[in-house]
Copies of this chain bind each other. A is one copy, B any other.
């Protein structure tokens, strides 16, 4: 039989995968706390006859050694988000305020499905396949955690690494691109200081609520006025919090910012502008204490290797029907996946799986309302269509692996 024929067997395991997906979706866990998720993955692998080992507390790796040949690493991220689900699905999150709003449950399930297909069809390929389940992608802590726990010495060195991500694109598509596909990301927590007072005595206060508002608006001018038009740059204030009672003027405000760039010079200038603006607005407010800046969740650029991307793209085009494989646009999101191949000094490819209802997407595209009608990752309404997203994502992992390991 030719190397991909066994993929037809997927029909017999899709029900198992659908159930798994819904279970993971019901039990989302925040980054570095994916204990039940990790246990379930371990247990499923065991059922398939595969040993796995923990690398970091909630990270997991299984290695299928299947004779001569290259070594391929495939990675799925497993953490969820502090979002309150609002999809109305019957398999909605059972955990208050936590949701798989970025589709990592789909990534886990697809990778488990790929592992099963490869493990049950060992004669169709040869080499080594490593399935890696990574915690805490959302805050760029998980790849680091696994590397800090000795990942590079605990598994064979791969020749190439793969990862995939569901996106608000039509289900039934796989989207690839050489070069930069995901931006660099930086987060910063800014604390500004006012002077607390009774709510009825504003003249005794330095109002941090007003101060935070002026900062939020001034920060908009970095992208609108300071960055060269057409240059990719995002400055998001994801959280602005100050005070807890109407009648107490608080004494501080906290802002959480997220930056995305494709150019490190642009990134550095944006950071300088943020600090300049925040410090000056504190002076405008008459703040008596310097603001503080705490940088965290710093994500690398995801920059697909030309050859690795070309190899998987060709394999996808050979296997999938016409129209499935699409050129991807660079996405505004960030990922810590690349830290793993970078630690091994190996090439990598990262592609995107469409997961939105294809008809709705088409209508929205025609109406020019994709942005408003198609819920995006991190939205409380983000809900990948299970079929055929799950099947395509599972097959994509296998097809990519076979591009290296197939006979």
Contact = CB atoms under 8 A, between A and B. Distances in A.
Contacts of A179: none
B228 A230 contact: no
A123 to B, nearest CB: 42
Contact of A239 (B244, B277, B281): B244
B280 A283 contact: yes
B238 A225 contact: no
Nearest to A189: B246
A236 B200 contact: yes
Contacts of A229: 183, 200-203, 223, 232-234, 260, 332
Interface string A188-222: 11000001111111111101011011101110111
A142 interface: no
Contacts of A251: 379-380
Given A332-B200, A334-B200, A247 B376 contact: no
Interface residues of A, number: 98
B258 A199 contact: yes
Number of this chain's copies in the complex: 4
Contacts of A102: 198
Contacts of A376: 197-198, 201, 204-205
B247 A238 contact: yes
Contacts of A225: 202-203, 205, 207, 210, 220
Contact of A214 (B209, B217, B246, B371): B217
Interface in A240-273: 240-251, 253, 256-258, 260, 262, 265, 269, 273
A227 interface: yes
A202 B220 CA distance: 12
A330 B253 CA distance: 30
A236 B246 contact: yes
A216 B279 CA distance: 19
Contacts of A248: 81-83, 238, 378
13 contacts: A138-B245, A183-B229, A188-B246, A195-B379, A199-B378, A204-B379, A209-B216, A213-B216, A220-B224, A230-B232, A241-B241, A269-B368, A279-B283
Interface of A: 81-83, 102, 138-139, 168, 183, 185, 187-189, 195-205, 207, 209-210, 212-214, 216-218, 220-251, 253, 256-258, 260, 262, 265, 269, 273, 276-277, 279-281, 283-286, 288, 297, 330-334, 368, 371-372, 376-381
Given A204-B379, A210-B216, 19 more contacts: A183-B229, A185-B247, A196-B380, A197-B379, A198-B332, A198-B378, A198-B379, A200-B229, A200-B332, A201-B377, A202-B226, A202-B234, A209-B216, A209-B237, A210-B217, A213-B217, A224-B235, A239-B246, A281-B284
